[in-house]
Amino acid sequence: MRLKQRKYRKKVPIFGFPISLVSGYPFQPAMKIIRYLDGQGDTHYAIQHPDGTFERLAGSIFESIQPAGEPADVKKLLAPVPPVSLLCVGLNYRRHAEETKGQIPEYPVLFMKGVNAVQNPGDPIELPRHLRSDEVDYECELAVVIGRKCKNVSRANALDYVLGYTCANDVSARDWQIRRGGGQWCRGKTFDAFAPLGPCLVTPDEIANPNALGIRTILNGEPVQDWTTGDMIFDVPALISFLSGSTTLLPGTVILTGTPHGVGMARRPRLYLKPGDLVTVEIDGIGALTNPVIEETCFD
């Protein structure tokens, strides 16, 4: 890669160069990145500066990007990346396994969500009404975005393949997950809008240890989950190593790493989402992902 130095903003002089968010390139500055629609309906990426302003980025976040030298015309915030796949891990927090009376797994428990489930920050979680569920649950999760193709990755090198981190809500229809799903979880986990992501993508330079973050869910202003990613049974490097075993992970693969205790299913009385609710997932160092809750609009 040929690099050309040019003058740029004094507060971030490194942005005079093309930069990559994954290892193997000369510069990997710490960044918070958003994906958005502008006033013309076009999709772009932007860097969020410390003062809260946004600057448009040019290039590909999976190769190299650089500031475009102009403010970002942010009209609508989108999920930080369009995932190529969503790999999800269940029962990955010790206290969550205990509250659900689940056995501590020997290997990570894997299920998948369809990309149809991705939802933007601020857009609604839809309660299924055609295949009706009255047991829709929240689950705050740390999401890991893979930045470059990998397979059979060692635990020691796993974080080298991380593009960044974001917040996720692994919305779950417990009735379809547990009683009606035929013994697997995907039906109850992959309805439309069941995977909100956002509000931004935080590069690994800003998060030295993904397993030392506070994580919480706030429902209608009240905290219902409040714990730490240090309670994971399989930490982030272990998950990447396992999921890449004999399996190619492509750039844009999103890994949902499990949820801490406090889910609605385990409460007495049970606490499920209902129309009019407002649910927020917060992770230290990343931000807050907020979505309202509505009923599905059915159509043929």
At 251-279, the pLDDT tens digits run 999 999 999 999 999 999 999 999 999 99
Mean pLDDT of the chain: 90
pLDDT higher than 90, residue 105 = yes
Distance CA 213, CA 231 (A): 10
Average pLDDT over residues 102-118: 96
Residue-wise pLDDT for 272-289, tens only, equals 999 999 999 999 999 999
Residue that the structure tokens 């993508």 belong to: 201
Over residues 28-38, mean pLDDT: 85
Q: Which residue bears the tokens 């990007």?
A: 65
The residues, ordered by sequence, that sit 6+ positions from 210 with a Cβ below 8 Å of its Cβ are 142, 144, 159, 165, 229, 235, 236
Q: Are 250 and 269 in contact (CB under 8 A)?
A: no
In the chain the domains, ranked by start, together with CATH numbers, are 13-78 (no CATH), 85-295 (3.90.850.10)
How much is the pLDDT for 22?
54
Measured CA distances, 153 to 83, 162, 194, 245 (Å): 20, 12, 29, 7
The percent helix, strand, coil of the chain (3-state, each to 5) is 15, 35, 50
What Cα–Cα distance (Å) separates residue 111 from each residue in 1, 12, 214, 253, 258?
38, 41, 24, 14, 11
What is the pLDDT, as a whole number, of residue 65? Answer: 87
* Interatomic CA distance for residues 132 and 161, integer angstroms: 39
Looking at residue 159, its pLDDT comes to 98
Q: Would you state the pLDDT for residue 92?
A: 97
Return the residue matching tokens 């309660």.
127
Q: Which of 201, 194, 195 is CA-nearest to residue 287?
A: 201
Top-confidence residue, 33 or 64 = 33
pLDDT of residue 292: 98
pLDDT the model gives residue 79: 98
Query: Which residues, in sequence order, are bridge partners of residue 249?
Result: 150
Q: What is the pLDDT of residue 30?
A: 66
Please give the average per-residue pLDDT across 81-110, as a whole number: 95
Residue with the two structure tokens 């990447």: 240
Note the pTM of the prediction, 2 decimals. Answer: 0.91
